Structure 1
Amino acid sequence: MTYTFKTKGTCSSHIELELEGNIVKEIKFIRGCNGNAQGIAKLAAGMTVEEIKEKLGGIRCDGKSTSCPDQLAKAVEMAYNERLGDAD
């Protein structure tokens, strides 16, 4: 299932991702630093929700309280929890 997450506090405006169980299959950042966003997306594809949260959650960018990797961690958690809610 595909999810769209509106980012806050980053150059990217949205993150689109696809989950299969707790595995993140595809990630696409909308706007932002294109090269960095593509790199993050390729590295994180195939990882579990837990791995992404552990490795990327809490990363800050340029004095901000968040970053694109941190927003990805929030996005996968939200998508996974939403998917679990749909299973009820």
Structure 2
Amino acid sequence: MHYSFNTKGICATKLEFDVEDGVVKNVSFIGGCDGNHKGLAALAEGMTPDEASKRLKGISCGMRKSSCPDQLAEALEEFINNQ
């Protein structure tokens, strides 16, 4: 299932991912730092949405209250809650 999420408080404006056979796949961010997003996607892909969310939730970016990993966790939690 494909999922889109409008981010809040980070450089990337949107993120998208798929969940297939219970695992996260095809994570992509629109805007922001391409290299960090590719690394984050590589780490999250293959995990269950719950596992990835637990690992990424609460990570901040400098003085910001959120970060790209935290926003991915938020998106994954929203995905889980909408199932």
TM-score (norm 1): 0.88
Same amino acid, percent of matched pairs = 47
Q: How many residues align?
A: 83
Give yes or no for contact 1:59–1:70 (8 Å, CA) kept in 2: yes
Give yes or no for contact 2:12–2:31 (8 Å, CA) kept in 1: yes
Q: Per the alignment, do residues 78 and 3 of structure 1 end up closer, same or farther by CA in structure 2, a change over 3 Å counting?
A: same
Spell out, residue by residue over 1:62-88, the C-alpha distance to the aligned partner (whole angstroms, 9 max, x if none).
Answer: 111100000000111111222x1xxxx
Spell out, residue by residue over 1:32-88, the C-alpha distance to the aligned partner (whole angstroms, 9 max, x if none).
Answer: 111001100111001111211111100000111100000000111111222x1xxxx
Separation of aligned partners in 2, 1:66 and 1:22: 26
Match of 1:9 in 2: 9
Q: Does 2:33 align with 1:33? A: yes
One-letter amino acid of the counterpart of residue 70, structure 1: D
Q: Larger Rg: 1 or 2?
A: 1
Give the gaps of 5 or more residues in structure 2: none
Separation of aligned partners in 2, 1:41 and 1:26: 7
TM-score (norm 2): 0.93
Give the gaps of 5 or more residues in structure 1: none
